[in-house]
Amino acid sequence: MNSPRIVPPGSAPGDAAPLRAGEFARLMAPAGPFEPAPHLAVAVSGGPDSLALSLLAASWARRRKGRVTALTVEHRLRAESAAEARQAGRWLKTHGISHRILPWRGEKPASGVQAAAREARLRHLADWCVRHRVLHLLTAHQMEDQAATVLLRLSAGSGGDGLAAMPLVQDLRAPDGAGIRLIRPLLAIPEARLKATLGNRGQAWIDDPSNRDRSYARTRLTVALDALGGEGMSVARLARAARRAGSDRAALDSACGELLSRAAAPHPAGFVTLDWACWRAAPEVVSLRALIRLLTAVGGRPFGPRLERVERLSESLRAAYPARAVTLGGCRIIPRRGALLICREPGAAEAALTLKPGERRLWDNRYRVHVPRRAEFRGACTLGRLGSDGIAALRRTMADGGRALETIPAPARPALPAFRDLDGLLAVPHLRYARSPGGDGCEAQYIGAGNRTGGVFGPVA
């Protein structure tokens, strides 16, 4: 087993100022308010950024009678990763910080390793936070990370939202659909100051060689930042541009929310009725943003469809009331009584999943579903879309002859979540149908998808 590459605290840059407790408190303030005696989770790799964040967050929490739990996702992508996780735990213990190692088991991808690792890391961290009822998860993304993200977004042709890069606070969803707050308090702090913070406390850190692997685009862009700085495109300026774009994004999000409060009528079953005339009368940039948000929520995706496709749809809808339905992003956009019905495209819904008694899961990235612990059913209980066969079965079995179906527009019915066992339909909660005793208590709560708030961005410096 390989040993971690430990960097002594004397290697910290001597010309950088350590980050002090008062300054860290000011960085945390815009992410508030926090509950009394807050319990924070901090993602820790053992590198200088996350170790410095752990020490600062622990001091911040103790002053508020709270505590910190450091979490290390042991990715097993490098031979030394297990030893690094254990070393981080030993260091944190000397500072009185609780530490947990979360192993990433299973097959690892042959390509797209960094993206897959980030996704797995967040999934494991969020799952731990939800299981332990921790609302706040802190990560140590700093100024150089933010600048590299801006360059990545520029190279991908992103618009203003993309250039806003990483927000200070962002909603994060756990595998069961529950939400936590992802907080990045160090986005305005250069890495040199975090190393100086560790040096000031006599704390060593781990050097991760993958951070210098030029096979990764982010690594190449981070290296390129030194050359770009000579042309005036410094790390600080790129990070400042991200904060300004974030401020603009927050203002647009506010206008978008105000428009949706007037024009959109969401239904608990997972579809939306949009007042076309009201939506069309809004400024184009705001109405486009509102359309993206609706397609994201109804389509069950963490991000909306490709921007150019939504722009074409928006231009068409603003030009004239549509004559026929269109599909985009897993949604159907249907003209109905002068409004627009936006509902899930049935064929795009997630495949059925099997549920055990007492289990809670997320289905179609839109519904938090639950089977009671004492549920009775024959064979396996599955949850999937209602479909045309389910609609026909309801018309035959419902006491009212299926008239309850009329409470949901016909295009939205096939994608409704439905519980089944070997005897057929168990429950369709949004139609208030339950076959006793097995279907009693089955739940499917619509929670939407995506980052509906757009995140909270720190002050522009």
- Comparing C-alpha atoms, which of 24, 14, 25, 3 is closest to residue 195? 14
- Among 21-30, 70-79, 204-213, 243-252, where is mean pLDDT lowest? 204-213
Cross-strand partners of 16 = none
Helices (H) and strands (E) in the chain, counts: 13, 21
Q: How far apart are CA 361 and CA 359, in angstroms?
A: 7
Over residues 48-66, the pLDDT tens digits come to 999 999 999 999 999 999 9
Q: Compute how many other C-beta atoms are within 10 angstroms of the C-beta atom of residue 252.
A: 18
266 - beta bridge partners?
A: 272
- Of 84, 83, 2, 94, which Cα lies nearest the Cα of 55? 94
8 Å CB contact between 72 and 101:
yes
Output b/e per residue, 99-125; b: 16+ Cβ within 10 A.
Answer: beebebeeeeeeeebbebbeebbbbbb
Q: What is the pLDDT of residue 247?
A: 83
pLDDT at 279: 97
Residue in the block written with tokens 């100086």: 196
Q: Is the predicted pLDDT of residue 37 greater than 90, yes or no?
A: yes
Closest by alpha carbon to 106, among 128, 124, 88?
124
363 CB contacts (<8 Å, ≥6 apart)?
Answer: 350, 353, 369, 383, 384, 417, 444
Coil vs helix vs strand at 422: coil
The yes-or-no verdict on residue 127 having pLDDT over 80 is: yes
Question: What is the value of pTM for the model shown?
Answer: 0.73
What percentage of the chain reaches a pLDDT higher than 70? 90
- Nearest to residue 147, comparing CAs of 230, 223, 96, 49? 223
Average confidence score pLDDT of the chain: 88
Closest CA to 412 of 320, 329, 336: 336
Of 415, 422, 353, which is closest to residue 390 (Cα–Cα)? 415
Q: What is the DSSP string of 17-62?
A: PPPPHHHHHHHHGGG----SS-EEEEE--SSHHHHHHHHHHHHHHH
Contact (CB, 8 A) for 292 and 257: no
Average pLDDT over every residue of 73-100: 90
Give the residue, 128 or 454, on which the prediction is more confident: 128
Amino acid symbol at 365: N
For residues 213 and 357, the model is more confident at: 357
Predicted confidence (pLDDT) at residue 316 exceeds the cutoff of 90 = yes
Chain centroid offset of residue 238 CA: 24
Strand partners, 139: none
pLDDT digit string, tens, across residues 111-126: 666 677 788 888 899 9
Using an 8 Å Cβ cutoff, are 356 and 428 in contact?
no
Based on its alpha-carbon atoms, the radius of gyration of the chain, rounded to whole angstroms, reads 25
Question: Quick one: CA dihedral 254, 146, 244, 25, positive or negative?
Answer: positive
Q: Residue 317 corresponds to which amino acid?
A: L
CB atoms within 10 A of CB 86: 16
- Other CB atoms within a 10 A radius of the CB of residue 357 amount to 12
Statement: residue 1 has pLDDT above 70: no
Q: In whole angstroms, what is the distance from residue 183 CA to residue 170 CA?
A: 7
Measured distance CA(152)–CA(402) in Å, rounded:
53
The per-residue pLDDT for range 404-450, each reduced to its tens digit, is 889 999 999 999 999 999 999 999 999 999 988 878 889 999 987 54
Residues 6+ apart with CB under 8 A from 459: 30, 243
Q: Which residues pair with 384 in a beta bridge?
A: 418
